[in-house]
Structure 1
């Protein structure tokens, strides 16, 4: 079945009008913000929501938030994973209030430091850790370490990956040429000189790229997430590990989104053996913090440099990194959330959500699919892709915008940039069923 584009455009106009009429206070605040904030928002990604202006949030709790117009939403975005613990986690709020009485930052370790390091080691199986302000920073530090240890200038990434605002990773393939990812603003570096890009699920392409002998590190997600969920073929990740070891290339796994697979991410769930690992976003319960771990072999090689006189100008670290505030939040979040018992609630909700969406797709015989990884699920307007390029080619901005706005106008918030739903223990089966109902009504409106 194909979508009537004229009908789609008409429905989108109706939903735009409904949105504007029902959000007068957000519209007022958006106008005021536009006077002094570039693009009217404090961070540019906030322009990527459906509607003529962003919804301004009044408060968020658990799996819901209320906007300044008093409307409540089931939050299936959760800050694009940043609030995967649920909003306003009591343990984090209490830890921050207590920490506020004793100072947030001294550029010295706090009493929570050893606990956080031990807990990260327990969860992910890598023995040595450092903190960062964001997963972007952690990925930059990991790549810098890899180049330092190997003496090799290049890195390798997956085609259509996303690892934050790391210059070398904003690269894609155009035929057999490495070029900047579409939309990358003012690239600092020529990615053709710094980066080798390979398609996901293509072991031969990876082997060929690493055979040049100039790659220090392969940075990858164990399943692509920011171009839709693309799962690894059977045996693919084991082959990646064999190829990287054979070419003496360090393997860095970015678990920032794939933490949805379980308490230790896909690394623990699937028995992976990375040399380096990055995790960010939810580990601080919403407070900016990330971490990167490494094998003992890597730690033994890098530690002498970490204790050098010039480590403060090495390009690793940051004045506010590893602060008492961040460590208190991380300890509180990891001791009370993102545990196996939390995933035991959240994963079945994601399964139920995926089944509901799949039933609608089947009933209307649409050439769409739904994919799930742990407590994260997503639908796409194409058959299941095996790599990022296939997924990118199927992007339908008009259809996606309509589906998001239709859901938003009916109290359901999906993640911008793609059609992702993330579940926490605070969601309920009723939340899932409400989305299925709204999703079905959108499809019914589309097909007439």
Structure 2
């Protein structure tokens, strides 16, 4: 059942509004300290918050956090929340993993930034190569930065101006990826602040899983790079069709186009990401968010051929600023936290625990959906789980956009918070960390079932 003027996800808008209102009232009543601190905005910050998307949480005002540890957040009203959002992947391995916390404490007394390598650096390069398969790496601060820099390299070594993205993609705030398909035609995404360019002039876009459309666009041989997640994640989750990634790799090679795999969200799949689990062969590889256990950091890697071509390009280009790099990138705090994360946190044992509980969560949510006869489905990639308020599976970005049910999802989110569970605010994403327990998963499933029953009462 699709959304209509009177319903979303098979639930009447009247019922959704009533639930949202009653849950908002309960949220306010339980959090007088958070409301006093943030209910009218936090003084000194534009929009009342230090980053604008903090106002995008569906709760009446943001929860003001006192502390977080493992898979639990405690707010200033003393209320504990089982955290399945985990900083929207930034804390995918739990809040303050002990090895990372120890590394930060050790490095804090030895200097936080000095634009030079240290002893952790001597180990880190080898760790990245061994873990993710590409031989040469660079450090940045966010996945957005890493994607920007990698795309510059792709254009430099190919001499081509254009890139290709899939409709519904997410690569941080990289400008040229901010395009979409509207009635089959490319267009800038709505809402871009201060955008004065037509991004579709240098960005081509096709639907995920559409191999014929991909082949047709690549045939022009003017595409420097295809940038993609292995699974579309920041919309309603879209999994690749069988054979899609094989075709993507074959067609990009045929066209002389580089392939950039952005694993920032799909690192939930395993220690080597989706790339390692399924044997993908990218020319460029990006990973941000959880790579340093919550410390802002990202990495981008190059295959041997790309690195060779980029060295040749640098040897012949005129001197001057490359347009890549930021002063605080590649600092020793990042090195220490990344080394600890790779060596002691992103382990096979931890991933096995995460996968096992993610499967339990997936099964529990599917059972609740079936019991209440809701036209919804569940998608999962490793430790990343999402319930989608529409029938599935979804095959592309247009279907994902149509499946989005913002009013319904917001009501569910607030209701779950009131039952002690926090999920991602921008979509219905839930992550399992090494610190997550079976009891927490079961509480989430129970809360989800209770909210579903209220929606259909």
Shift of 1:186: 2.3
Could you tell me which runs of 5 or more consecutive residues in structure 2 were left unpaired when the two chains were aligned: 2-9
Alignment-derived partner of residue 7 in structure 2: none
1:437 to 424, 430, 446: 446
Distance (Å, rounded) in 1 between the aligned partners of 2:441 and 2:303: 40
Distance (Å, rounded) in 2 between the aligned partners of 1:376 and 1:293: 24
1:446 to 431, 435, 455: 455
1:41 to 23, 45, 49: 49
Alignment-derived partner of residue 199 in structure 1: 207
- SS, match of residue 205 in structure 1: helix
* Structure 1 residue runs of 4 or more that deviate by more than 4 Å after TM superposition: 304-312
**Aligned positions, number:** 448
| Higher mean C-alpha displacement, 83-92 vs 349-358 | 83-92
Distance (Å, rounded) in 2 between the aligned partners of 1:110 and 1:44: 35
Residues 118-173 of structure 1: CA deviation (Å, up to 9, x unaligned): 11111111111110110000000011111111111110001010100000001101
2:364 to 356, 373, 382: 356
Distance (Å, rounded) in 1 between the aligned partners of 2:59 and 2:440: 22
Alignment-derived partner of residue 349 in structure 2: 341
Asked if 1:215 corresponds to 2:228, the answer is no
Could you tell me which runs of 5 or more consecutive residues in structure 1 were left unpaired when the two chains were aligned: none
Distance (Å, rounded) in 2 between the aligned partners of 1:308 and 1:257: 36
- SS, match of residue 335 in structure 2: helix
Distance (Å, rounded) in 2 between the aligned partners of 1:442 and 1:120: 43
Shift of 1:4: 2.4
1:413 to 422, 426, 432: 422
Alignment-derived partner of residue 21 in structure 1: 29
Shift of 1:66: 0.2
Relative to structure 1, the CA distance from residue 357 to residue 95 in structure 2 (aligned partners, 3 Å threshold; closer, same or farther) is same
Shift of 1:310: 7.3
Superposition RMSD in Å = 1.5
Asked if 1:238 corresponds to 2:246, the answer is yes
- SS, match of residue 60 in structure 1: strand
Whether the 8 Å contact between 2:236 and 2:404 is mirrored in structure 1 is no
Residues 304-356 of structure 1: CA deviation (Å, up to 9, x unaligned): 55578977710111111101111111111111112111110001111010101
With the length of structure 1 as denominator, give the TM-score of the two structures: 0.97
Distance (Å, rounded) in 2 between the aligned partners of 1:364 and 1:90: 41
Asked if 1:190 corresponds to 2:198, the answer is yes
With the length of structure 2 as denominator, give the TM-score of the two structures: 0.95
Shift of 1:46: 1.0
